[in-house]
Chain A
Amino acid sequence: MASFEAFACDDCHSLSTRPQRRCWRCGSSAIRSVNLIGRGTLVSFTIIRVPPTVFQGQEPYHIAVIDLDEGLRITARLVVPEGREAAIDDPVIFDAMRPYGPIFRLV
């Protein structure tokens, strides 16, 4: 199963998607790398139809804010299979890591 790297605080157990020098919540410097499976639900999303120059040609694409069951909120690309529509609270799962960031898909 696919998994992706995140950063956990050993003191307050907060998670972050990027290597923090100190924990964003408690200020601790006891940060270590962890691997997440990345099951979660949609908090909100949009469909980008007017992209920045570098992404022109890829539109329309979904970008979503996702609450992971593992206790982390992240922003990611979302793959919505043809014929389906995304809705808030829909279950999603991590799919792949791309140079531009994580991709999730509707379960």
Chain B
Amino acid sequence: MRKVSVIGIGCTPFGKQNSIGIIDLALQACEGALSDAQVPGRPIDAFYLGNFVSEALAHQGSLAPIVAHRLGLGPIPCTKVEGACASSGIAFRHGVLMIASGLCDIVLVAGVEKMTSAETGAVTEALASAGDADSEMRLGLTFPGTFGIVMRRHMYQHGTTREQVAMVSVKNRSNGAVNPKAHFQKPVAMAEVLESRLICDPLRLYDCTPISDGAAAAVLCAADLAAEFTDRSVDVIGSGHATGPATLFEMADLTTFEASVVAGQQAYRQAGVAPGDIDVAEVHDCFTIAEITAIEDLGFVAKGKGGAAVAEGLTALDGTLPTNPSGGLLSKGHPVGATGLAQIYEIVAQLRGDAVNQVKGAEIGLAHNLGGTGAVSTVHILKRR
């Protein structure tokens, strides 16, 4: 298999973007990535675009060919990729596979979502379609509800405290306060998290990501060609993609997302690194408790120790494993189809040495994207050249 590099990245600001439609959001991120990669004029061989709820919320089903046409990419293969909140992690993975297989030299990958123009009930319903419609979602379960159930069980089973879980929000909101692309650029205090409105007990408002608009993109290239375009390329050394049960009742342990465990193991094995070798991570903190389960599932800490790890500062900017220095989904926002590539954007920036909360000397970074009730996960490991 050929080795793959990221040679360009682009990301729109995340948040409420009334004046720009979903196609233009995607164009903005893609143009950013293409110009960062310095590939104008060079043919792109394929385009993968991650998106989850454009049909329900933006009334636009087909996206990839329209965006590609507007970018002037020519008659290349264009595919929209759906994997709930892991849609653009999977789009990135497809780009990697196309180059690794030798079928393509340069691939554009992107993710986009436009959510704020719809009513909250409609957004909740559209997002709930990532769950199993025949069983749990028909009961009226929502995604905050799903993670409320996971959180209560984690607290019971592992002794995780309410304060430890709230610390994730305090940490990520503090990190995001200096990120100009984040939806929320304001820190929150522990008391504010603990006293915010109950959404799905014990989950409260500040345990949840906001509803956001946004897009992110990357240009992937065969590693042996990367130097022709840029001296700032970052290598993709591990790519994992796995599936788990799409319902809570089919999970063997309500505090473990099997897809994350398996995707992480695949990525570590391919990269030839261990969790302890990771210098910086962007993990899928769609809710506070999700960051705790993620750092456990990815092997950064033992199962059940995630809450204590956050409270002890292990995952802080100056900790041994800085996690979500960008502010994570909790601060940046979670335009679901764009999230996976926004994580890649942050990790590439970290490995280039120009991130907003730069982790000093970061050489190896990890991006973890989770979709549905743990139904699908991607894990990518990237390395500075």
Bound state CA distance, A44 and B154, in angstroms? 9
Chain A residue nearest to B199 (CB atoms) is: A50
Chain B residue nearest to A62 (CB atoms) is: B201
Q: Is the CB of B150 within 8 A of A44?
A: yes
Question: B153 to chain A: which residues have CB within 8 Å?
Answer: 43-44, 65, 88
Bound state CA distance, A73 and B247, in angstroms? 11
Q: Flag whether B250 is at the interface (Cβ < 8 A).
A: yes
Chain B residue nearest to A63 (CB atoms) is: B141
Q: Is the CB of A52 within 8 A of B250?
A: no
Interface residues on chain A, number (Cβ under 8 Å): 30
Q: Flag whether A54 is at the interface (Cβ < 8 A).
A: yes
Taking the nearest CB of chain B, how far is it from the CB of A90, in angstroms? Answer: 12
Chain A residue nearest to B147 (CB atoms) is: A46
Q: Is the CB of A46 within 8 A of B148?
A: yes
Q: Is the CB of A50 within 8 A of B200?
A: yes
Residue from A53, A55, A75 in contact with B248 in the complex, judged by beta carbons closer than 8 Å? A75
Q: Is the CB of A101 within 8 A of B201?
A: no
| Given A50-B124, A75-B139, A65-B149 contact (CB < 8 Å) | yes
Q: Flag whether B122 is at the interface (Cβ < 8 A).
A: yes
Kindly name the residue among B121, B139, B142, B148 whose own CB sees the greatest number of chain A CB atoms within 10 A: B139
Kindly name the residue among B141, B198, B202 whose own CB sees the greatest number of chain A CB atoms within 10 A: B141
Bound state CA distance, A74 and B121, in angstroms? 26
Q: Flag whether A9 is at the interface (Cβ < 8 A).
A: no
Q: Flag whether B254 is at the interface (Cβ < 8 A).
A: yes
| Given A17-B135, A45-B152, A74-B249, A53-B254 contact (CB < 8 Å) | no
Q: Is the CB of A47 within 8 A of B200?
A: yes
0/1 string, B198-229, CB within 8 A of A gives 1: 11111100000000000000000000000000
Q: Is the CB of B135 within 8 A of A52?
A: no
| Given A44-B156, A48-B145, A75-B247, A63-B124 contact (CB < 8 Å) | no
Q: Flag whether B144 is at the interface (Cβ < 8 A).
A: yes
Q: Is the CB of B148 within 8 A of A100?
A: no
| Given A46-B203, A48-B200, A75-B249, A53-B140 contact (CB < 8 Å) | no
- Interface size bracket, B side: 35 or more
Taking the nearest CB of chain A, how far is it from the CB of B117, in angstroms? Answer: 16
Bound state CA distance, A37 and B156, in angstroms? 27
Chain A residue nearest to B125 (CB atoms) is: A52
Q: Flag whether B301 is at the interface (Cβ < 8 A).
A: no
| Given A44-B150, A52-B124, A52-B128, A100-B139 contact (CB < 8 Å) | yes
Question: A58 to chain B: which residues have CB within 8 Å?
Answer: 140
Q: Is the CB of B125 within 8 A of A49?
A: no
Q: Flag whether B101 is at the interface (Cβ < 8 A).
A: no
Q: Is the CB of A49 within 8 A of B140?
A: no
Residue from A43, A48, A51, A101 in contact with B138 in the complex, judged by beta carbons closer than 8 Å? A101
Question: B198 to chain A: which residues have CB within 8 Å?
Answer: 47, 49
| Given A73-B249, A100-B138, A50-B125 contact (CB < 8 Å) | no
Q: Is the CB of A63 within 8 A of B249?
A: no
Question: A88 to chain B: which residues have CB within 8 Å?
Answer: 152-153, 156
Question: B125 to chain A: which residues have CB within 8 Å?
Answer: 52-54
Taking the nearest CB of chain B, how far is it from the CB of A27, in angstroms? Answer: 15
Chain B residue nearest to A66 (CB atoms) is: B249
Question: B146 to chain A: which residues have CB within 8 Å?
Answer: 46
Q: Quick one: which of B60-112 are within 8 Å of A by CB? A: none
Chain B residue nearest to A51 (CB atoms) is: B140
| Given A63-B140, A101-B138, A44-B152 contact (CB < 8 Å) | yes
Bound state CA distance, A98 and B133, in angstroms? 15
Chain B residue nearest to A48 (CB atoms) is: B145
Kindly name the residue among A58, A63, A74, A75 whose own CB sees the greatest number of chain B CB atoms within 10 A: A75
**Cross-chain pairs A/B with CB under 8 angstroms, 9 sampled:** A44-B254, A46-B202, A52-B125, A53-B125, A54-B125, A58-B140, A63-B136, A63-B149, A65-B249
Residues of B near any A CB (own CB < 8 A)? 119-122, 124-125, 128, 134-142, 144-146, 148-150, 152-153, 156, 198-203, 247-250, 254
Closest 7 CB pairs of A and B: A46-B148, A53-B121, A44-B153, A52-B125, A55-B140, A47-B201, A101-B139
Having A44-B149, A53-B125, A100-B140, one finds 10 other A-B pairs with CB under 8 Å, namely A24-B250, A46-B200, A50-B200, A54-B140, A75-B136, A75-B139, A75-B249, A76-B139, A77-B139, A77-B140
